[in-house]
Structure 1
Amino acid sequence: MSTITTVNPATEEQLHTYDVMSEQEATERLEACHAAFLEWRQLTPQDRAPYLTKIAQKLRDNADELAALMTSETGKLLKDGRVEVELCAALFEYAAKNGPELLADEEREQGLSGKRGIVSYQPIGVIYSIQPWNFPCYQVVRVLAANLMAGNGCVLKHASICTGSGLRLRELCIEAGLPENLFQVVVIGHDTSDKLIAHPKVRGVTMTGSDGAGRHIGATAAKALKKTVLELGSNDAYLVLDDADIETAVKYSVMGRLYNNGETCVSAKRFIVTEKVYDAFVEAFVAQMKAITMGDPTSKDTQLGPLSSQDQFDTVKEQVESSVAKGAKVLCGGEVPDRKGAYYPATVLTEVTPGMPAYDDEIFGPVAAVIRAKDDEDAMRLANDSRYGLGGGIFCKDEERAIKLARDHFDTGMIRINSFGAADPNMPFGGVKDSGYGREHGGFGMKEFVNVKAIFLP
């Protein structure tokens, strides 16, 4: 039997070893989840809500422990882990508070006959959730909270490097009173995962990860006629326009690039700056990136921790080196520190052009690509010159103009104006193009995996 060993990326210490489940063991957990779903679905949304509220409190009660576990497995800053736990609690509470109304039957008039009709949102079964390591609790919870409220069960395949976080989250849900088998965690490889996708008791598949992995999982699910929701990362553009307040732009650009050690799908990665303000922005941005304190993720003074693993470190290093070999210029960072751990410094690249990883791809680490634009219109053109479309931002004093650009021209799912943030329980989360499809949060996730039933009355 093969095993998975988790490793602390800051210290290179081995944390824990887990046995990989056989296909039979994983299938048994899936079938147990389905059996629990058959009982859970009989509860009304109002009946389900208290379970979710209790889970939220249980997470808050164990926030320090969970944050420490996430930090040890992925290197995220301890303070960011505590914020993540609070977001998870808020998502459970949002679902508990809003689910009963969002999922209530709707009375409608039949358009042809004028007779009565009912639209009902009914659960469909087990949702298979495949999640990455960068937010070990949040990625899981944004699927779990919505689908528990909708009446579904959930089977999680988590990233191997944060296996402990996934298992502990399940334990806390059970301690809070959730039926034991309604949320299952399977520790499996890709081949077994593909077989679970095809299993008839899996009724929907949701995944967060790379666009390459999304293509495989989406195709595998499509062959089995399973609906999917895919969130596939991005190389989000943040525009610094002619009338931008440079101090504000630099503040949120540094925050947006370094949040979660630069390992966030919906974060600032490409900075498209117009000619008029280019020099002022670059000078101030580089100065602040140079001043960042990199170190122990458990220290309150640390601003940048290690990358999540040696593999991730190697990937980021190679992407930067490839971009430089093709003509990109390093204004700060870019050199690997001589220290233990998967540490990569805050890095700023300029002269970034198509054909470079820094322009075309997602660099999942603290590396900023600054791209010069002629004017505001050229900046928007460059922003949309990407196969991705998850998030983005606009720095511009003219709020109405920024709103118009965001609404009418920015080909992406989420846009921040003069600010930065990752997710909000009451706003939809998701993207377009190679960033995937489907929406979570804001009530949208509760209706992604339901049977929208039309009931016609005489």
Structure 2
Amino acid sequence: MSDTINTNNPYNGEHIKTYKLDSKVVLNKKLELANATFKSWKLLEISERAKLLQKLADELLADKDSLSKLITLEMGKPITESKAEIEKCAFLIQFYAHNADQFLADAIIETDAHESYISYDPLGCILAVMPWNYPFWQVFRFAIPTLIAGNVALLKHASNVTGCAIAIEKLFNKSGFPEGCFQTLLADHDTIEEIIGNDIVKAVTLTGSEKAGKSIAQTAGKHLKKTVLELGGNNACIILKDADLDKHLDTIVKARMQNSGQSCIAAKRFLVEEEIYDEFLEQFTKKVKALNYDDPFKEDTNMSCLARPDLADILEEQVSKSVEKGAKVHYGNTRGDAYYQPTILTNITKDMPVFKEETFGPVAPIIKVKNLDEAIAMASNSRFGLGTMIFTKDYKKASKKVLAIEDGAYFINEMVKSDPRLPFGGTKASGYGRELSKEGILEFVNKKTIFINK
């Protein structure tokens, strides 16, 4: 087994850098430092932690250009999307800096005691296993609520964005956070399992595949460690006959093609009411054809390569198997190395991979449905439960279907997206627990009952 990590530019295949994995001695020192730092960090007033958060936001925005280039270099995201990711991280940081004191305030409960309330105490050291598709956003949406709640954070990032992982740790240190508050671990999967079993680690959060989630949950469960899992999805995008395509079509295309289709909350199944099916297919195809595939460092690029060649292999196999079962390629379906052309498929059935699996790339199956009820039933026909989006002028009628959708999110006339002000997470095979908002900050605290009599 190799003791190094190699990062490569997915757009041109060029080698970027080689990193040496942390030895067990180094990892143990990082765990011990985290534990020691926690003892003082948890005692710091929330207002003081918030000041450090604000400094972090300032540093992040000051370094936006260089950090954006690093994201694009390591995982191929168009540079404009990389800049937007950094800006979104700053917004998240400022949100918690302004609201954490309120979220973590003692909750007074009237009982027969002289005084009783709930105290929200930090747990300790929280380990995060994070993916490559949003290499800064995924980390910050875990780390910021975790840290301001008084915990300390350890990050095991995806190996292909190791440079981003190291840069994030440097940002925290540069912003004045105590040494050991946030640390990046350069470790392989087997070593991470050992780290989860260490008594210093109190809980684990993972964003990634269903397979990875099951593995982490199994290991954490063996050691009685809490987990929060944000896993895959194959979100349905419902377009009803009264949808305003002139207004919403750009959003609908973005819902599938943003980040070159590499998003768990992307629209992955398009359910279109039959009266407008042909019109929608024509307009959607026209928009997709107009997307500019080019070097991700160019400002006018809005589609680029996938993050690794093997990801294109997986996508190609899913499409090929679907075509074997009768799917028709309406547009696209060519590839080269890490490139996968935006692809539109029709004649979709429920037994095809592009219907029942998560497709992590720019593939759009377009499915004809008779009405809203059939669309809801088909949207619900999934092992996953991350989010559903629906486009219609009759938003009141659509809002009555909230209980019919078991997903963690239901968006009307908007693409499913994460927002620091709203809880984010899924159901079924999409995982459990919540990130963001007040609900997210309370995932890794001890909700302690205080009961006082004179």
TM-score range, shorter chain: over 0.9
Deviation at 1:118, TM superposition (A): 1.8
Alignment of 1:292-311 (within 5 A): 292-311=291-310
Alignment of 1:301-340 (within 5 A): 301-336=300-335
Alignment of 1:30-41 (within 5 A): 30-41=31-42
Other-structure match for 1:151: 150
AA of the residue aligned to 1:186: L
Deviation at 1:249, TM superposition (A): 4.2
1:179-198 Cα deviation digits (max 9, x unpaired): 12110101111100111111
Worse overlay, 269-278 or 230-239: 269-278
Other-structure match for 1:117: 116
Q: Contact 2:410–2:416 at 8 Å: present in 1 too?
A: no
Other-structure match for 1:367: 363
Are 2:424 and 1:429 aligned? yes
Aligned partners of 2:294, 2:313: CA distance in 1, in Å?
18
Q: Contact 1:30–1:184 at 8 Å: present in 2 too?
A: no
AA of the residue aligned to 1:419: E
1:336-363 Cα deviation digits (max 9, x unpaired): 25xxx51111111111212221011111
Q: Contact 1:272–1:372 at 8 Å: present in 2 too?
A: yes
CA RMSD of aligned residues (A): 1.2
Deviation at 1:267, TM superposition (A): 1.2
Are 2:62 and 1:61 aligned? yes
Other-structure match for 1:47: 48
Alignment of 1:377-416 (within 5 A): 377-405=373-401, 407-416=402-411
Q: Contact 2:388–2:416 at 8 Å: present in 1 too?
A: no
Other-structure match for 2:87: 86
What TM-score, normalized to structure 2? 0.97
Aligned partners of 2:24, 2:315: CA distance in 1, in Å?
34
AA of the residue aligned to 1:53: Q
SS in 2 for 1:134: coil
- Which of residues 334, 338, 345 in structure 2 aligns to 1:342? 338
Q: Contact 2:113–2:452 at 8 Å: present in 1 too?
A: no
Q: Contact 1:292–1:303 at 8 Å: present in 2 too?
A: yes
Alignment of 1:245-324 (within 5 A): 245-324=244-323
Aligned partners of 2:35, 2:321: CA distance in 1, in Å?
47
Alignment of 1:206-245 (within 5 A): 206-245=205-244
Aligned partners of 2:319, 2:186: CA distance in 1, in Å?
33
1:115-143 Cα deviation digits (max 9, x unpaired): 42021000010000000000000100001
AA of the residue aligned to 1:71: T
SS in 1 for 2:384: coil
Aligned partners of 1:422, 1:250: CA distance in 2, in Å?
16
Deviation at 1:454, TM superposition (A): 0.5
Q: Contact 2:86–2:136 at 8 Å: present in 1 too?
A: yes
Aligned partners of 2:299, 2:288: CA distance in 1, in Å?
18
Deviation at 1:220, TM superposition (A): 0.9
SS in 2 for 1:117: strand
Aligned partners of 1:355, 1:34: CA distance in 2, in Å?
49
Aligned-residue sequence identity (percent) comes to: 42
Deviation at 1:248, TM superposition (A): 3.4
Other-structure match for 1:6: 7
What TM-score, normalized to structure 1? 0.97
AA of the residue aligned to 1:256: A
Quick one: structure 1 residues 27 and 353, their matched pair in 2 at CA, closer, same or farther if it must change by over 3 Å?
A: farther
Aligned partners of 2:316, 2:276: CA distance in 1, in Å?
30
1:53-108 Cα deviation digits (max 9, x unpaired): 11011100001111000000000011101110111111111111100111011222
Worse overlay, 407-416 or 429-438: 407-416
AA of the residue aligned to 1:151: G
SS in 2 for 1:273: strand
Q: Contact 1:95–1:443 at 8 Å: present in 2 too?
A: no
Are 2:359 and 1:358 aligned? no
SS in 2 for 1:283: helix
Other-structure match for 1:193: 192
AA of the residue aligned to 1:428: P
1:248-287 Cα deviation digits (max 9, x unpaired): 3432221111111110111111101111221111111112
AA of the residue aligned to 2:440: G
Are 2:445 and 1:450 aligned? yes
Aligned partners of 1:45, 1:173: CA distance in 2, in Å?
17
Q: Contact 1:88–1:137 at 8 Å: present in 2 too?
A: yes
What runs of 5+ residues in structure 1 fail to find an aligned partner? none
Aligned partners of 2:25, 2:387: CA distance in 1, in Å?
40
Aligned partners of 2:314, 2:247: CA distance in 1, in Å?
31
Aligned partners of 2:114, 2:367: CA distance in 1, in Å?
59
1:216-260 Cα deviation digits (max 9, x unpaired): 111111111011000002000010113212333432221111111
SS in 2 for 1:109: coil
Q: Contact 2:424–2:434 at 8 Å: present in 1 too?
A: yes
Aligned partners of 2:368, 2:218: CA distance in 1, in Å?
38
